[in-house]
């Protein structure tokens, strides 16, 4: 018994020491581009799709926020000064068979009929996760993208991120593996009160092409995505408003403009709770800007 108590006591001392070394930043607008060395953060996001006429059809562990590249179950760690490693795993679930969310074919080759359940703002059932185009797979209503990344801050205001996207279920159609190169920018105007942020991304994804109507147009898809926003803080309460623009450069596809309103509360230097409401596309090809929307709830815990 005494040996077990000694082990637990030792673990407790190590945990307390780790928390003591963590350089958690209290005010949300002041958070640096990378986690401080020796500090880690675990996050959980939950989302529900509120597409008009299909409210609640899609939901799960994930995020619809325009600036969330890593979402769902997220782990970030400052492993070196100005250098961060992170990973995330999302889980999307739909109430219908995934094939109903994809464009259909009258000939067996060309997709010329709108999806049965969800045309979406692009008219073809495509959903966007921070610029990454996705569709629900045939015979499956799951989507579980895994994201692994490394981020380095050259300056307090400028960084570089390289990430790998791995769609684990299913890996077909638009749900293709790829790379993301991002340049996060952040400037604190008034410490503890106001900051601005922006980030352009270039995504390169790959897939095999066949004659089937469900096949992508090209083996390589090149996508540009950028977001920008402003963050306010009043003591522990914070508000962020962000807008983004994304487009498939090759093969070309009309751009989309999502927007997010986020409200949160910092309970301590180590815990945030927040809720975000997103309009998926302010310039929809189908429907009105308010038709495609989603709600995200999340918690951050630093240690």
Write b or e for each residue in 140-152: b if 16 or more Cβ atoms lie within 10 A of its Cβ, otherwise e: ebebbbbbebebb
Q: Is 42 helix (H, G, I), strand (E, B) or coil?
A: strand
Q: Is residue 10 part of a domain?
A: no
Q: Is residue 162 part of a domain?
A: yes
Q: What's the CATH number where 103 sits?
A: 2.40.160.40
Q: Is residue 55 part of a domain?
A: yes
pLDDT reading at 8 higher than 60: no
Number of domains in the chain: 1
pLDDT bracket for residue 21 (50, 70, 90): very low
- Among 134, 140, 138, CA closest to 167: 134
- Among 175, 252, 177, CA closest to 215: 175
**pTM recorded for the entire structure:** 0.86
- Among 268, 265, 270, CA closest to 298: 265
Tens digit of pLDDT for each residue in 155-177? 999 999 999 999 887 666 677 88
What mean pLDDT is predicted for residues 47-72?
92
Q: Is residue 113 part of a domain?
A: yes
Q: Is residue 128 part of a domain?
A: yes
The domain of 268 spans 26-302
Return the pLDDT at 111: 66
Side-chain half-sphere CA neighbours of 122 within 13 A:
22
Tens digit of pLDDT for each residue in 131-142? 888 877 666 677
Q: Is residue 269 part of a domain?
A: yes
Q: Is residue 174 part of a domain?
A: yes
Q: Is residue 227 part of a domain?
A: yes
């Amino acid at each position: 018994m005494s040996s077990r108590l000694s082990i637990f006591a030792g673990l407790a001392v190590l945990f307390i020491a780790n928390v003591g070394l963590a350089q958690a930043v209290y005010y949300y607008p002041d958070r640096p581009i990378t986690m401080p060395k020796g500090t880690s953060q675990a996050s959980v996001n939950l989302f529900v799709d509120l597409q008009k006429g299909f409210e609640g059809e899609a939901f799960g562990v994930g995020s619809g926020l325009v600036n969330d590249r890593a979402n769902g179950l997220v782990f970030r760690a400052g492993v070196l000064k100005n250098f961060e490693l992170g990973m995330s795993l999302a889980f999307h679930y739909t109430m219908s068979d995934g094939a109903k969310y994809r464009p259909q074919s009258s000939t067996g080759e060309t997709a010329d009929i709108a999806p049965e359940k969800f045309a979406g703002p692009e008219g073809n059932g495509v959903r966007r996760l921070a610029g990454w185009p996705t569709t629900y797979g045939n015979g499956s209503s799951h989507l579980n993208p895994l994201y692994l990344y490394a981020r380095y801050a050259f300056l307090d205001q400028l960084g570089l991120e390289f990430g790998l996207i791995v769609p684990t279920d299913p890996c077909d159609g638009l749900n293709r593996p790829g790379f993301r190169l991002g340049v996060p920018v952040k400037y604190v105007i008034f410490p503890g009160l106001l900051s601005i942020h922006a980030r352009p991304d270039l995504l390169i994804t790959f897939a095999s092409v066949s004659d089937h109507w469900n096949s992508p147009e090209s083996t390589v898809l090149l996508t540009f995505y950028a977001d920008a926003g402003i963050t306010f803080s009043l003591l522990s309460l914070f508000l962020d408003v962000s807008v983004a623009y994304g487009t498939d450069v090759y093969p070309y596809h009309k751009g989309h403009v999502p927007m997010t309103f986020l409200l949160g509360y910092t309970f301590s230097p180590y815990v945030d709770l927040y809720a975000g409401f997103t309009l998926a596309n302010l310039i929809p090809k189908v429907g009105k800007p308010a038709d495609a929307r989603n709600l995200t709830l999340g918690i951050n815990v630093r240690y």
